[in-house]
Structure 1
Amino acid sequence: MEKDFIKGRGAQQNVANKFLEHRHEMRDDFLNYCATEGDEAQENKTSIIETFPKTIINKVTSPDVGPGYSLNPYQGCEHGCIYCYARNSHEYWGYGAGLDFEQKILVKRNAVELLEAKLRSKSWKAETIMLSGNTDCYQPVEKKLEITRNLLKTFLKYRHPVGIITKNALVQRDLDILKELNEHRLVNVNISITSLQENTRRILEPRTASINRRLETVEKLSKEGIPVRVMMAPIIPSINSHEIMPLVKEISDRGALGVGYTIVRLNGAIGGIFTDWIKKAMPDRAERVLNQIAHVHGGSLNDSRFGTRMKGEGEFADQVAQQFKIARKLYLKDREISPLNCDLHEQFKDGQMKLF
């Protein structure tokens, strides 16, 4: 790993926002000056930026994901996963998909009020809303702000189904609310676990919970009867692609009811960010990994085609699919996650059960 590798961050550079007319760059003479003076060329701290959007629920129309709704209390994500598809969305807020995505975290301060207004709307019909369709609702700032916790309280108040996707063990903090939601079949949790190797986790996902903490979370929630599914996403050739069978066995032993996966795709600005990162973090295998990713996506690092972009194509993609098919049969046979309950919400539109 190169000496100038930025520890604790995924992206190793800031990249220009394609929507902005102007851009800036770090010139060598400025970098040399900073080195001579002992100064940092750029700030490496996380900034929290408050926002007050007008809406909070997003309709999901992607045929790869299926119809539904998502809610993201935060934009940008301090976890810093280098492969994250959500990096590109930071450009719509006027920032970059590189270090900006990890360092400039936008907080939707009125998220709870907006959700409550939506759930009370006469026109709203209950359908599962997924927390973290874009960025993690349990990233580090949540420990202090508790926006996600208050959103869960709101879902419980209105008896509305909610799904969660996270790679942070902080979800254990809200076990009390999750148990109440689960009594009415109103919640399921998806834990993202990309690897069983802590060294791999540290460079791929530098500010996420450790692998042991995530496995502990799967086990703890499962023992409480809360439906838990694990997402092994993404599969990256020559980095974690050899771990499918042992990982599925491990999560089965911990009580998970299912497993899902995607194959890495480096769309938009992520292609350049990932390429820069892997040449610094894994120079010995960088070209091999990049070539294998391109092979899965028709010769390009970027694949935006519905139907193939999530699972890839070709020999490698077929091998991955077969491994998951075998793993499910061996370790997750006869396990399934039941659909969430959408029948209670109409009775609780005003925040309490209607008697008549």
Structure 2
Amino acid sequence: MPPRTPDPDTSLAAHRVAPERLRGRGARSNRAGRYERELRQAESDGWDIEEDLPVLRTEVSEERARKIITYNSSPDLPFDRSVNAYRGCEHGCIYCFARPTHAWLGLSAGLDFETRLVARPGAAELLAKELAAKSYKVATLAMGTNTDPYQPIEKRYGVTRAMLEVLREARHPVGIVTKGTLILRDLDILSEMARDRLVRVGISVTTLDPVLSRRMEPRAPAPAKRLEVIRRLTEAGVEVRIMTSPVVPGLTDHEIEALLEAGAQAGAVAASWIMLRLPLEVSPLFRDWLEEHYPDRAGRVMARVREMHGGKDYDAQWGKRMRGEGHHAQMIGQRFARAARRLGLDRALPPLRCDLFRPPVPRGAQMDLFG
């Protein structure tokens, strides 16, 4: 079914949830997904009786997927395959470009994305099966490209760790992106894989301001804790890249140099950046958030965003969507490049090893006598 024509952005107000129910959430509203035929919103029943509604809690359902490795051919991405342990993300980052994927589940990119999550408890078995296929050709597998593999529910489900165990056994290279401190739980696996140059980690640090971080990424670890994760991973021998992503013009772009310096001091060996991206439902959600928390800067932030995307909130063209274009985008890129060069974070890292790969043996299969 083709997406319906979105209702006006002003209608977000009609789908807002009472503030007292939003403890630790990024979005304020829950407008229906773009594939839904009907819009739903709360209306007074006319009875003059006060009713206390509960704080929104995280709900988790389980999904038994048929495949776990997703392939892409995007020239903007440094990898061609990825796995995701979860759908939705409790970190609640208001700027998350993955929010619109919840529409495929018939859910909202707003509060549903943060509160109605999907776990994939059979992911490790699927991964082993796909890696064991005779047609499989090894290349670095990206983990955490859509939603964070170390968001809070990983502590309960352990899907990410189970997949890492498969990758360690298969000696398969993996690149991980996360904000979560729970990655330190898996130092035993990561340090072992790092010795054979089979793993690299990217830690996203968007701002050093704890107040801004708590508003913008309400359930993600504080910036200081993420820097400590970089330090701990580095001490364990794991190569870490600090990711100053996304850069929010007019809100966080002044921190580029400070972020890179903090990352370098913590032990990061490389750095990367991506400009703020506001596809589909993310744009009205982000603008609503700006008006709530930074009304004095909202107009300036969005003017900069549109300047870098040809007058639009977002331009999905390859080669433009990640960095934007125009004078301001070029200036941010130049500042980043200068700071990274000064701090030694601009060096190209050697590729992870693919020559050690050994396909997993599926459950019930006979072991190779001479393996």
TM-score of the aligned structures, taking structure 1 as reference length: 0.93
User: What SS does the corresponding residue of 1:276 show, helix, strand or coil?
Assistant: helix
Match of 2:361 in 1: 350
Match of 1:20 in 2: 36
Match of 1:330 in 2: 342
Match of 2:220 in 1: 208
Q: Cα gap change, 1:293/1:333 in structure 2, threshold over 3 Å: closer, same or farther?
A: closer
Q: Cα gap change, 1:312/1:353 in structure 2, threshold over 3 Å: closer, same or farther?
A: farther
Shift of 1:33: 5.9
Q: Cα gap change, 1:229/1:4 in structure 2, threshold over 3 Å: closer, same or farther?
A: same
1:33-54 C-alpha deviation (Å, 9 max, x unpaired): 69x51322x7611100111010
Which whole-Å CA distance do the structure 1 matches of 2:292 and 2:47 have between them? 23
Contact 1:234/1:261 (CA < 8 Å) preserved in 2? yes
Shift of 1:283: 1.6
Shift of 1:200: 1.1
Shift of 1:4: 3.5
Aligned residue type for 1:26: A
Which whole-Å CA distance do the structure 1 matches of 2:161 and 2:370 have between them? 28
1:9-32 C-alpha deviation (Å, 9 max, x unpaired): 1111012211111220123x35x8
User: What SS does the corresponding residue of 1:163 show, helix, strand or coil?
Assistant: strand
Q: Cα gap change, 1:333/1:4 in structure 2, threshold over 3 Å: closer, same or farther?
A: closer
Contact 2:242/2:270 (CA < 8 Å) preserved in 1? yes
Q: Cα gap change, 1:33/1:353 in structure 2, threshold over 3 Å: closer, same or farther?
A: farther
Q: Structure 1: where are the runs of 5+ without partners?
A: none
Which whole-Å CA distance do the structure 2 matches of 1:172 and 1:194 have between them? 20
Comparing 304-313 and 3-12, the one that deviates more: 3-12
How many equivalent pairs are there? 349
Name which of 264, 282, 290 aligns with 2:276: 264
**1:122-137 correspondence to structure 2 within 5 Å:** 122-137=134-149
Aligned residue type for 1:13: S
Aligned residue type for 1:265: R
Aligned residue type for 1:172: L
Match of 2:91 in 1: 79
Provide the aligned C-alpha RMSD in A.
Answer: 1.9
TM-score of the aligned structures, taking structure 2 as reference length: 0.90
Q: Cα gap change, 1:353/1:310 in structure 2, threshold over 3 Å: closer, same or farther?
A: farther
Which whole-Å CA distance do the structure 2 matches of 1:56 and 1:333 have between them? 33
* 2:27 equivalent to 1:11: yes
Q: Percent same amino acid among aligned pairs?
A: 38
Name which of 219, 233, 243 aligns with 1:231: 243
Which whole-Å CA distance do the structure 1 matches of 2:41 and 2:314 have between them? 25
Q: Structure 2: where are the runs of 5+ without partners?
A: 1-17
**1:111-150 correspondence to structure 2 within 5 Å:** 111-150=123-162
Which whole-Å CA distance do the structure 2 matches of 1:125 and 1:255 have between them? 33
1:219-260 C-alpha deviation (Å, 9 max, x unpaired): 111122211001111110121100001111111111111111
1:110-141 C-alpha deviation (Å, 9 max, x unpaired): 10110010111111111111111100000000
Match of 1:241 in 2: 253
Match of 2:315 in 1: 303
